[in-house]
Amino acid sequence: MDKETVLNILRRVKYPGYSRDIVSFGLVREIAAGGGKTEVALALSSASPEVPERLREEVLAALREAGAPAPAVTVENAPPARATGGTGAGNTAGGTPQGGRELPPARRPDGVRRVIAVASGKGGVGKSTLAVNLACALARRGLRVGLLDCDLHGPSVPRMTGLEGRLAFDGERMVPHERFGVRVMSIGFLVDEETPLIWRGPMITSAIRQLAFDVAWGELDALLVDLPPGTGDAPLSLAQMVALDGALIVTTPQPAAAAVALRGAALFPKVGVPVLGVVENMSWLELPADGGRATPFGAGGGAAVASALGAPLLGQVPLDERVRAGGDDGEPVAVAAPESTAGAAFAAIAGALAAKIDLAPA
Ligand SMILES: Nc1ncnc2c1ncn2[C@@H]1O[C@H](COP(=O)(O)OP(=O)(O)O)[C@@H](O)[C@H]1O
Ligand SMILES: [Mg+2]
């Protein structure tokens, strides 16, 4: 019996409580068939302890019924994590039928311990800047870090990390680019910058699925996910597919910006993902004359968003030419000038995040 035949048998097995099958849910990790044996490995992220055993039995029964020789089934279950000090119990969005559609359980990519989204309802506040610099700062702390760019319309991570070009393929999956000790995946590596892309709901879902799961991440202590602004399809698709351990919300100090930033945060508590903290960006501008601070964008936005979400303000990052230039030149300030005020701010945020959620290697 060959792999394809086994896969077709597995297509008849439904996920417990759902009408969709385990193959379309993406739970089949490996099939070894032929030579008188049939081995199936499943991987899932279920909070319910009965689900793995029940699935194992149902798959075994289906294989036996179809006459598969010497069937053996293993099920690896990595339940959604609880964030220490967080408010939620990990992402349950995937298991929750929404809008009448039944969804597969969310899971983490293979080898990835923690997944943290960087989000805001507002564009241009520095989500990508934070995601890139935080990834670099975490790598400088000795952690194995990945960065997933989920901004399909305007991927800025390639430029900000100075990475470009085609991805290698290891025969099965895409191999992420790597720089500053950070493994990076972006739609920008797959399509050229000039090609205008029109993404619709299902395409967004499938692009994010591939960028998250069809990638040889290797072992990662933390995977940061850079989201596009707003409350569109991408954050929800991500939360439904990827078991998120928490979200960071970015805002600027302006009250008007804070209100918009906050809207982008509303999704996370709804799907059981804790907001781990708020980062205020462009908080002040250091005056070259006397080292005093100007506050061109006002003050208080970060604190306001943090208090509205019941989450801590993890840090404030100054408005600094070096942050902008670091992004444009692909030399993030967290690496190029870690001692600068902005560089130190990113390092401190990395420390606060690591203290808030267990990011240490297993
Ligand atoms: N603290 C900062 N100081 C100076 N420029 C910044 C700072 N944060 C972000 N920028 C710049 O602002 C622009 C928007 O930031 P970006 O991270 O792309 O925002 P978002 O991802 O939220 O849309 C970029 O050009 C970036 O370099
Ligand atoms: Mg961005």
Neighbouring CB atoms inside 10 A of 166's CB total 9
* Cα(325) to centroid(ligand 1), Å: 10
Reported as a pLDDT band with limits 50, 70 and 90, residue 196 is: low
Q: Is residue 82 part of a domain?
A: no
Atom of ligand 1 nearest to the CA of 130: 17
Phi/psi of residue 108, nearest 5 degrees: -95, 150
Residues with CB under 5 A from ligand 2 (ion): 127-128, 156
Per-residue pLDDT tens over the stretch 61-98 = 999 999 999 999 999 887 655 433 333 344 544 444 33
Ligand nearest to the CA of 127: 1
Q: Is residue 122 part of a domain?
A: yes
Contacts of 110 (CB under 8 A, 6+ apart): 29, 43, 213, 217
Task: Examine the pLDDT at 128 and tell me if it is beyond 60.
Answer: yes
Sign of torsion over alpha carbons 154, 158, 164, 169: negative
Per-residue pLDDT tens over the stretch 351-361 = 999 999 888 76
Q: What is the pLDDT of residue 233?
A: 80
128 vs 270, more confident: 128
Cβ–ligand 1 distance for 327 under 6 Å, the answer yes
The whole-number average pLDDT for the span 166-176 is 92
For the chain, the domain total comes to 2
CATH number for 315: 3.40.50.300
**Domain span holding position 218:** 93-356
Same domain, residue pair 107 and 73: no
Q: Is residue 300 part of a domain?
A: yes
Same domain, residue pair 62 and 106: no
Q: What is the pLDDT of residue 195?
A: 66
Q: What is the pLDDT of residue 44?
A: 79
- As a whole number of angstroms, the distance between CA 273 and CA 267 comes to 9
Same domain, residue pair 220 and 314: yes
* Cα(4) to centroid(ligand 1), Å: 48
21 vs 58, more confident: 58
For a pocket test of ligand 1, which of 324, 333, 346 has the largest count of ligand atoms closer than 8 A to its C-beta?
324
Closest CA to 114 of 75, 156, 148, 137: 148
pTM above 0.85, yes or no: no
CATH number for 66: 3.30.300.130
Same domain, residue pair 14 and 119: no
DSSP class of residue 82 equals: P
Atom of ligand 1 nearest to the CA of 317: 1
Task: Examine the pLDDT at 113 and tell me if it is beyond 60.
Answer: yes
Per-residue pLDDT tens over the stretch 276-324 = 999 999 999 998 888 899 999 999 999 999 999 999 999 999 999 999 9
Among the residue ranges 17-21, 67-71, 156-160, 284-288, the one predicted with the least confidence is 17-21
Same domain, residue pair 115 and 233: yes
- The answer to whether the CB of 13 falls within 8 A of the CB of 7 is no
Would you list the DSSP string of 97-157?
Answer: -BTTB--PPPBPPTTB--EEEEE-SSTTSSHHHHHHHHHHHHHHTT--EEEEE--SSS--H
Reported as a pLDDT band with limits 50, 70 and 90, residue 194 is: low
